[in-house]
Structure 1
């Protein structure tokens, strides 16, 4: 029997816990959690080489039972829905990341990594069942038609969307559509007494994955990547080139909260930093069919110079491949907290009805031999509780709460000790801010009150804010005690009793977030991220590492 050539593996980001997917049952959760991949020449009906008779018996048994249920069960049943359910439960017995995506959800699941989409180009949020424009996207139909931050969307094509508990996914479906199609939005604007109708023609909207790129100081660049989408590498190359032309000699690469994506975009990005022909990542599967090795092969644009990679417990999958490769080659200092630990390779298999099977076929390993995947031997429930367990055990706050067995010790190219066991352990640990875990602060965020307050402030002070340059705003603007008290009063009306002690505890964090959200509405994303920097402990450590020379581990080792 001829052996099929190995297929290009695809690394998917960490999916939403299955229990949450069962509770929510909304396609947009899959869209945020799963990433599409391209599979060439897959044959889902290839017989098993190990147990063909067992596979055939199982298939016939399932077919027979489903036929009896469909024909004889006392109530009418949806046989296809039952089949989808059975498949999903079966895959849960394998590992946490082998999943089945029904046909009606496949398109939404694939949209997460598209580099563009057809729509009106508006960032929105939902405050108290009211869809509110946060910002029109640059160059999109919404901006060209004059939509403004703070506009309330009351109806879409005559169908009411305000006050009807519409979901984010449902709103996306209403705003997106084929290029050239028309949509009419009914808006209420702060400065206009009556609702107004605005007609827009949908167009292609960039779906950027490089959130921001700017200079932290005259020589230190900062690039934040939210995911590894189809256009990520090109966006990154452009951002890197722009920063270098502005005088950048050191770089902070922010992969915090990055759930992963296309592996080839991630390895191409890593190749920009790693010189020569060096291993970036390898896979190990059943037999050798899915064993692969990926090496650096191009002359990168930033193979020398100080480099810091920021990671946290939300960094997963392809983001971990990049961080692990740069750490193993002593090319970058990794700063933050241990990453998620998702290093299983899923092969996407398109099924005849338009659904998709994403089957784990191998594991990913860093160049030193570390497995990125954390253990799932204690079952799915324990696996899904891992991040909560890290919080309870103190791992997010204390580096000495993390213990590694001697068997998990590995060495970088130049002899530094790094650790396996799941995820990438940073070189420099930075604890989370404990104020972000206070019950009062958490409720303010979950009720969306901070963003709403900031948007209302922007609307009421738009003229004076726009009279300031972003640099002036960053240097002089401050949220006052009176404004924090006003936020607390708004929260009290929303069912959150005032608590002066808790408000004081998280005051500085709230001031920074409110200032950043106001900057987002008034000046755009660069000002938003520049404001957040004021309270960003990981970024401050990265800048310090640039100053003391530890941002270039290889250079530091050569000096010893």
Structure 2
């Protein structure tokens, strides 16, 4: 026995000594490399051919160092503190509207005002051309410059001069900047057969409060099943996530655990209140942009067998950040300190993400639609929508709005008349391929194939493609038009008409026994 105690004591002593040596070696390596870095910079500053910009060079070094760790640990120097605040709160002060550069006009225009924000309250519309902000002309400026002048301190007032294409009139708007924050819930409402639907946009702000009100309202309207749409939701507050889950999960249940190197980074998060409804069937919609708190929400419901998931694999952000590690000279560090672990003990990684119980991949957008919507230098779709809005003071409820056959025929003719072409990317890549083929000496041998491909790229049958992709293009047009009247909520409603994931969710919820069958398959 004494021999055993002696051996155990010796082994423990050796382990402690080994750990102490490891710490000593680590500290030596840190000191050595910091001295190298410091001496290297001093030599650069002394001998390099040009004068160094200390802020630029050191910040570049810091950013490169942090990139070697993970994509979420970030350095915020003093001049970027506003960016950090916007990231943490989801708020900034401005007019509350998306703007874009109109390629044909070579002007910055209003793209999409947000509901209830200064731009919408002042009466700005999609397509309004920004001419001047106070005394500063904007007609020769890019989007970033215009955006920086639209933003400012909340409560400050400026005069915005615009040209409205639908009337040809120049108009002045006196606008007071406000703290801008996107709504936590983009849209919620009733679907057929007692299915409630909530589109949760973010976990930043006070989403738990908004979710509770929306859920209670849906129950009041007769909801007996729920679809929670977390597609595109990049996450936010962990405590808000737990409080949202608490609506459907009993009090005292562990939702998530965090584990890190430091003791204070280790925490357990449990539900704190009595739930609203622990039996209503829940389907969560996710995609590859569902991240962080959204993944905890969907993953916890899955682990606890409290809901099922439909869509595609999620983003895979299982890391926790402390957003405000103070640094000298008013700088900050957003630092990854721990990892998330769900009730089952599983983590959330980039390689895995949260896997849906039923995979439903979204339809891919055709090239012609993509170019018309985002990449068209003629801006024919944007201009059509702007003109349509100008001619129609009202369109009725979003769920009932449809473009007529005559409307689409008109749009089609405008596209053809504008000389619209697409696949410019394919054309550039083809030209590079031709250069390579000629350089490597096999172009002449395959000349006929190259020429056939070139003809295809150069001669799209745009009229045929507009007919072939009619339904897809019409939906994009209808979403853009509806957003001018009912903002983002209207966009969501129009999109749900052809949404494969919502159709599958409703099939599962409305087919007797189907929801339970999927739930029972969960491990």
TM-score, length of structure 2 as denominator length:
0.79
C-alpha distance after superposition, 1:215-254 (max 9, x if no partner): 1236222111222112222222222232222222221111
Distance 1:549 1:191 in 2: 52
Shift of 1:425: 0.6
C-alpha distance after superposition, 1:469-506 (max 9, x if no partner): 44542597885344234335446178977534543443
Distance 1:480 1:428 in 2: 35
Correspondence 1:499 to 2:427: no
Q: Are the counterparts in 2 of residues 451 and 517 from structure 1 also a CA contact under 8 Å?
A: no
2:371 counterpart (443, 456, 461):
443
Correspondence 1:354 to 2:330: yes
Shift of 1:519: 1.1
Alignment partner, residue 269 of structure 1? 244
Alignment partner, residue 132 of structure 2? 155
Shift of 1:321: 0.9
Aligned pairs for 1:317-396 within 5 A: 317-348=292-323, 349-375=325-351
Distance 1:494 1:554 in 2: 46
Aligned pairs for 1:75-224 within 5 A: 75-114=50-89, 116-128=91-103, 129-167=106-144, 170-217=145-192, 219-224=194-199
**Residue ranges of structure 1 left out of the alignment (5+ in a row):** 1-47, 376-421
1:517 counterpart (477, 480, 486):
480
Alignment partner, residue 456 of structure 1? 386
C-alpha distance after superposition, 1:500-523 (max 9, x if no partner): 454344321111111111111133
Distance 1:161 1:529 in 2: 32
Shift of 1:151: 1.9
Correspondence 1:280 to 2:242: no
Q: Are the counterparts in 2 of residues 488 and 498 from structure 1 also a CA contact under 8 Å?
A: no
**Residue ranges of structure 2 left out of the alignment (5+ in a row):** 1-22, 425-458
Correspondence 1:52 to 2:15: no
Distance 2:24 2:282 in 1: 47
The secondary structure found in structure 2 opposite 1:524 is: helix
Alignment partner, residue 471 of structure 2? 508
The secondary structure found in structure 2 opposite 1:480 is: helix
Higher deviation after alignment, 477-486 or 499-508? 477-486
Alignment partner, residue 547 of structure 1? 510
Q: Are the counterparts in 2 of residues 118 and 203 from structure 1 also a CA contact under 8 Å?
A: yes
Ranges of 4+ aligned residues in structure 1 off by more than 6 Å? 475-478, 493-497
Larger radius of gyration: 2
Correspondence 1:425 to 2:355: yes
Q: Are the counterparts in 2 of residues 114 and 229 from structure 1 also a CA contact under 8 Å?
A: yes
Higher deviation after alignment, 211-220 or 255-264? 211-220
More helix by share: 2
The secondary structure found in structure 1 opposite 2:130 is: strand
Distance 1:475 1:195 in 2: 30
Shift of 1:113: 4.4
Higher deviation after alignment, 141-150 or 329-338? 141-150
C-alpha distance after superposition, 1:399-455 (max 9, x if no partner): xxxxxxxxxxxxxxxxxxxxxxx2011011102214x1x433332333264761453
Higher deviation after alignment, 360-369 or 327-336? 360-369
The structure whose RCO (Cα within 8 Å, separation 6+) is larger is 1
Higher deviation after alignment, 247-256 or 332-341? 247-256
2:408 counterpart (473, 480, 493):
480
Shift in CA distance, 472/225, structure 1 to aligned 2, threshold 3 Å: closer
- Measured on the aligned residues, the alpha-carbon RMSD in Å equals 3.0
Shift in CA distance, 274/467, structure 1 to aligned 2, threshold 3 Å: closer
Q: Are the counterparts in 2 of residues 134 and 455 from structure 1 also a CA contact under 8 Å?
A: no
The secondary structure found in structure 2 opposite 1:195 is: strand
